[in-house]
């Protein structure tokens, strides 16, 4: 029996949610190019598109936004739960532990019922950004900022996490980042969600499992690592030697490379463009300069292996301009990816089949128990 290590190139589902052409750098959600969604849509409309398979009619959109916003208020017991956590808890661990608790406030947790798909979606889209923003403030001892329903979804998150009302350009840039992170075919965290839901666990359990999977540095956790890597470099002249040292020591360059894209990740291209736009408004920074030089130098060494910047390379640099602390970068990724995870869970349970792969056993047989006093 052959082992398909990492399941690379093995289809595990049929899906109509998103499409990638990794050779040509194409990404589509429900057939719509990502560039069009970034230009014309907003995150909640895109989330609706992903989950329900079509762009919402005007009244469907209004109801959806209002249902999400109604869910922006946490129950006191969830807030108290947050307050009891050790302040050093990483924001991704906070999400992983709090999301299942939200199911207690959902009357319907029947994974086969479309009502559960809707209620869990609006609850998680409403509450996860609020939990993330509150955790930032609680963990550093700042006053809690209440949601402001007069702000857009994305503006409200920036307001709650920074305590400062963002200008509309910041809100729109952040919203476009959420669109870019909302979905990406059968990656590790989406696969995790689908495996969990295949057992008929509810969507809260599936999403919290996916959050754990996303947190690793080969996946969503890379954006925080990119920031740490770039922040260590105090002058652009040191970049070539820095990269050479990493490669000689067989270290991965964070924010570079992708299992599917063998060209420039289209999301990274859009993020880079947005970074140029926002820095022309807000002023450049040392970090932007470092990132640009780093990209050029890393490409010189990696392009021949078809290793290019991925979505995680520029996202953190952009978030730093918006005032989001680096520990929260992967949680921002998770906030957006809820849309993709729920879309896949909803699609998968329609024709559910329990995931239960097999293995090639290469251990021994008939080995006898040895009492503790006789063990060497
Ligand atoms: N830096 C240096 N070398 C790399 C990198 C990198 N970032 N990525 C791949 N390689 C090399 C790797 O060392 C190997 O070389 P060799 O054949 O000489 O041993 C070759 O490329 C193939 O590597 P692989 O691990 O088999 O390739 P993969 O397709 O499984 O890797 C990846 C995909 C994302 C795990 C990898 O590119 C990586 O570790 N990147 C850094 C972490 C990162 O940025 N992750 C975010 C991914 S995109 C967004 C997301 O999913 O969250």
Which structural domains are found in the chain, ordered by start? 14-216+334-351 (1.10.580.10), 222-321 (1.10.230.10)
Nearest CA to ligand 1 atom 29: 259
Nearest CA to ligand 1 atom 36: 257
Tokens of 78: 């969830």
Catalytic (active site) residue 258: yes
What is the per-residue pLDDT across 236-293, written as a single tens digit (0 to 9) for each? 999 999 999 999 999 999 999 999 999 999 999 999 999 988 888 877 778 899 999 9
Average pLDDT estimate for 73-97? 97
Q: Please provide residue 254's backbone torsions phi and psi, each rounded to the nearest 5 degrees.
A: -65, 140
* Nearest by Cα to 154 from 318, 363, 375: 318
Distance 93 CA to ligand 1 centre (A): 24
Q: Is the confidence at residue 195, as pLDDT, over 80?
A: yes
Give the pLDDT band (50/70/90) at residue 89: very high
Per the CB < 8 A criterion, the answer to whether 151 and 171 are in contact is yes
259 lines ligand 1 (CB under 6 A): yes
What is the per-residue pLDDT across 205-236, written as a single tens digit (0 to 9) for each? 999 999 999 999 999 999 999 999 999 998 99
CA distances for 275 relative to 121, 256, 286, 308, 322, angstroms: 30, 18, 13, 18, 11
For residue 85, the SS3 value is coil
**How much of the chain exceeds pLDDT 90, in percent?**
95
Nearest CA to ligand 1 atom 46: 219
Average pLDDT estimate for 169-179? 96
Average pLDDT estimate for 317-342? 97
Average pLDDT estimate for 294-303? 97
Q: Which pLDDT score is estimated for 121?
A: 98
Q: Which pLDDT score is estimated for 285?
A: 79
Distance 246 CA to ligand 1 centre (A): 13
Tokens of 283: 């002023």
Cβ neighbours of residue 68 closer than 8 Å, sequence gap 6 or more: 44, 122, 125, 126, 153
The whole model's pTM is what?
Answer: 0.96
For residue 309, the SS3 value is strand
- Between strands 32-33 and 18-21, the pairing is unpaired
Could you give the count of Cα atoms lying within 13 Å of 21 in the half-sphere of its Cβ?
Answer: 8
Q: Which residue is listed with tokens 């970049």?
A: 239
Q: Which pLDDT score is estimated for 94?
A: 98
Average pLDDT estimate for 32-49? 98
Q: Give one word for 313, left, alpha or beta, with left for phi > 0 and alpha for psi -120 to 50.
A: alpha
Q: Which pLDDT score is estimated for 282?
A: 79
Q: Which pLDDT score is estimated for 130?
A: 98
187 lines ligand 1 (CB under 6 A): yes
Distance 173 CA to ligand 1 centre (A): 28
Per the CB < 8 A criterion, the answer to whether 109 and 116 are in contact is yes
Q: Which pLDDT score is estimated for 286?
A: 85
Q: Is the confidence at residue 359, as pLDDT, over 90?
A: yes
Per the CB < 8 A criterion, the answer to whether 364 and 151 are in contact is no
Catalytic (active site) residue 312: yes
CA distances for 269 relative to 5, 6, 201, 264, 309, angstroms: 30, 27, 37, 7, 9
Other beta carbons within 10 Å of 133: 26
26 has which bridge partners? 21
Q: Is the confidence at residue 300, as pLDDT, over 90?
A: yes
Q: Is the confidence at residue 375, as pLDDT, over 80?
A: yes
Average pLDDT estimate for 358-366? 97
């Amino acid at each position: 029996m052959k082992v398909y290590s990492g399941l690379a190139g093995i289809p595990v589902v049929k899906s109509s949610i998103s499409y990638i052409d990794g050779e040509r750098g194409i990404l589509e959600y429900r057939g719509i190019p990502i560039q069009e969604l970034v230009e014309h849509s907003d995150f909640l409309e895109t989330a609706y598109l992903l989950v329900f398979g079509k762009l919402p009619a005007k009244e469907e959109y209004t109801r959806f936004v209002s249902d999400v916003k109604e869910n922006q208020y946490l129950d006191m017991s969830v807030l108290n739960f947050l307050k009891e956590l050790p302040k050093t808890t990483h924001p991704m661990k906070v999400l992983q532990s709090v999301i299942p608790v939200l199911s207690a406030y959902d009357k319907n947790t029947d994974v086969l019922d479309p009502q559960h798909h809707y209620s869990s979606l609006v609850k998680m889209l409403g509450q996860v950004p609020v939990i993330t923003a509150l955790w930032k403030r609680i963990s550093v001892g700042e006053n809690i900022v209440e949601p402001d329903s007069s702000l857009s979804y994305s503006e409200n998150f920036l307001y709650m996490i920074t305590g400062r009302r963002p200008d509309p350009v910041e809100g729109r840039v952040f919203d476009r980042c959420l669109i870019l992170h909302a979905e990406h075919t059968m990656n590790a965290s989406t696969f995790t969600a689908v495996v969990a839901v295949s057992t008929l666990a509810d969507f809260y359990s599936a999403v919290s499992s996916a959050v754990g999977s996303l947190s690793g540095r080969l996946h969503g956790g890379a954006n925080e690592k990119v920031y740490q890597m770039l922040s260590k470099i105090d002058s652009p002249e040191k970049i070539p030697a820095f990269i050479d040292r990493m490669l000689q020591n067989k270290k991965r360059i964070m924010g570079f490379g992708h299992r599917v894209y063998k060209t420039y990740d289209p999301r990274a291209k859009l993020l880079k463009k947005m970074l140029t736009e926002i820095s022309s408004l807000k002023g450049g920074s040392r970090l932007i300069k470092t990132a640009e030089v780093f990209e050029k130098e890393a490409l010189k060494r990696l392009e021949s292996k078809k290793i290019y910047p991925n979505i995680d390379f520029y996202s953190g640099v952009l978030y730093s301009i918006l005032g989001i602390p680096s520990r929260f970068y992967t949680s921002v990724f998770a906030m957006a990816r809820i849309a993709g995870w729920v879309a896949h869970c909803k699609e998968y349970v329609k024709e559910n089949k329990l995931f239960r792969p097999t293995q090639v056993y290469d251990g021994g047989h008939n080995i006898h128990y040895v009492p503790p006093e006789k063990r060497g």
